[in-house]
Amino acid sequence: MSQGSSHHVVLIVDEGSNPFELGVATELFGLRRPEIDRPWYRLTVCSPTPRVGVHRGMFSMSDMAGLEAVAEADTVIVPNRPDPWVPPRGDVVDAVRDAGGRGARLVSFCTGSFTLAATGLLDGRRAATHWRHEELFARLHPRVRLERDVLFVDDGDVLTAAGSAAALDLGLHVIRRDHGAETANTVSRRLVFTAHREGGQRQFVPQPIPVVADTSLAPVLDWARERLDRPLSVADLAARAAVSPATLHRRFRAELGTTPLAWLRSERVLLACRLIELGGMGFEAIARASGLGTTSNLRSGVRARTGVSPAVYRERFGPRRGDGQPSAAPSSRGRHSVQSARHAAP
């Protein structure tokens, strides 16, 4: 995303659209963010008709732009489907298809994936949808590579969220991709919402038998986040949680949908990204401070999460000098800065 101009997001509202997901889009991309010192998004809400009923006629919306607004969008958020088995409007499909054809980024929340799939732009690509509609989606759109156990899918210029709440996860991911982890953390704190949820939809699918919930993992997760720069093993986490390693694995799978070691690596990479954004540390120091250990691990971790190298990430999201250029970073920085970066996480 350009550092010098606002990014135009167009939200399409259609008959029966979910008001929560409309609210997510307006909250993330439509509100002014005076605490963020960079050009923000510009949101336009449009509709194929002058007036639309929202969520089974709960209320109606009017005075929106027409579908021609889609032609000017950098990012298009397509309407979700209250009845995903019914084909979306042809004019909406055409507008979204045209936007994708000229290179606009396309985003769907929950059953909006059915709208995207109707354009043909998802054929051969990865996508997510709500777990309740996975079988229907797979039957209607067999050419789409449906990811069944994820909160969202980022397939480059097409991004899909699995459910209404997952719209927040995906929206924050878009902000993180456009502006960096620290800005996404700022927005998530404003929302009082975690900047990055681990795991996938499996944790929300009804269980065939009653499950007795374990004590929350939150205390041991907070303890580990304060010690990311130190050697940490599964045995260490298990001892802190006062359970066996096998029990800890089971609880991580049940509550977070991931393993303890995968969670640790993810947290270390997130910390490394925040340290890169803060500036003032060389990559070797960041690798040590985040617990990744080596610059090779730093490179592979940052590239896997962000799609770019640490050097490119610093160029895009590091501190800017008064002339708009990235600031140079010395090779090391004090421990106080590492603690501040950790505490920046929500």
Query: Does any domain span residue 251?
Result: yes
Is-contact 124 143, C-beta < 8 A?
yes
Residues 299 and 269 reside in one and the same domain: yes
Query: Domain count of the chain?
Result: 2
Is-contact 103 157, C-beta < 8 A?
yes
Give residue 38's Cα distance to chain centre.
20
Query: Does any domain span residue 205?
Result: no
Structure tokens, 75: 């990012």
Q: What DSSP line would sit under 210-233, residue for residue?
A: --PPPPPSHHHHHHHHTTTTS---
Is-contact 237 288, C-beta < 8 A?
no
**Most confident option among 56-65, 69-78, 188-197:** 69-78
Pick the last residue of a domain from 157, 191, 225. 191
Give residue 334's Cα distance to chain centre.
31
Query: Does any domain span residue 196?
Result: no
Residues 219 and 275 reside in one and the same domain: yes
Residues 240 and 269 reside in one and the same domain: yes
Nearest to 170 by CA among 107, 255, 76: 107
Structure tokens, 154: 């980022």
Query: What does pTM read for this prediction?
Result: 0.65
Position 265 pLDDT exceeds 80: yes
Q: What is the mean pLDDT of residues 314-342?
A: 50
Query: Does any domain span residue 2?
Result: no
Per-residue pLDDT band at 198 (split at 50, 70, 90):
low
Nearest to 254 by CA among 205, 298, 290: 205
**Most confident option among 24-33, 36-45, 82-91, 111-120:** 111-120
The sign of the dihedral angle between the CA atoms of 124, 129, 131, 135 is negative
Structure tokens, 50: 């002058």
What pLDDT sits at residue 196?
A: 59
What is the per-residue burial (b if ≥16 Cβ within 10 Å, else e) of 15-52? Answer: bbbbeebbebbeebbbeebeeeeeebbebbbbbbbeeb
Pick the last residue of a domain from 191, 218, 237. 191
The SS3 assignment for 167 reads: helix
Residues 29 and 153 reside in one and the same domain: yes
Q: What is the mean pLDDT of residues 44-69?
A: 91
- Angstrom distance (rounded) from CA 205 to CA 7: 36
The CATH number of the domain where 94 resides is what? Answer: 3.40.50.880
Could you tell me where the DSSP H helices lie in 151-211?
Answer: 166-179, 181-191
Query: Does any domain span residue 175?
Result: yes
Query: Does any domain span residue 197?
Result: no
Residues 45 and 181 reside in one and the same domain: yes
Query: Does any domain span residue 248?
Result: yes
- For residue 296, give every residue at least 6 positions away whose Cβ sits within 8 Å of its Cβ, in sequence order, or none: none
What pLDDT sits at residue 334?
A: 34
Pick the last residue of a domain from 160, 191, 222. 191
Radius of gyration from C-alpha coordinates of the chain: 21
Per-residue pLDDT band at 342 (split at 50, 70, 90):
very low
Per-residue pLDDT band at 29 (split at 50, 70, 90):
very high
Is-contact 131 205, C-beta < 8 A?
yes
Residues 166 and 225 reside in one and the same domain: no
Residues 236 and 151 reside in one and the same domain: no
Residues 106 and 155 reside in one and the same domain: yes
Residues 164 and 65 reside in one and the same domain: yes
Is-contact 61 35, C-beta < 8 A?
no
Q: What DSSP line would sit under 277-317, residue for residue?
A: HH-S--HHHHHHHTT--SHHHHHHHHHHHHSS-HHHHHHHH
Q: What is the mean pLDDT of the chain?
A: 84
Higher pLDDT, 124 or 189: 124
Residues 157 and 84 reside in one and the same domain: yes
Query: Does any domain span residue 286?
Result: yes
Is-contact 341 271, C-beta < 8 A?
yes
The CATH number of the domain where 223 resides is what? Answer: 1.10.10.60
pLDDT digits (tens, 9 = 90+) for 100-154: 999 999 999 999 999 999 999 999 999 999 988 999 999 999 999 999 878 889 9
- Angstrom distance (rounded) from CA 2 to CA 233: 41
- Residue range of the domain that includes 122: 7-191
Residues 68 and 124 reside in one and the same domain: yes
DSSP letter (8 states) at residue 193 = S
Position 275 pLDDT exceeds 70: yes
- Angstrom distance (rounded) from CA 81 to CA 15: 9
Is-contact 81 114, C-beta < 8 A?
yes
Per-residue pLDDT band at 206 (split at 50, 70, 90):
very low
H-helix or E-strand spanning residue 60: strand 59-62
Residues 268 and 130 reside in one and the same domain: no
- Angstrom distance (rounded) from CA 287 to CA 229: 9
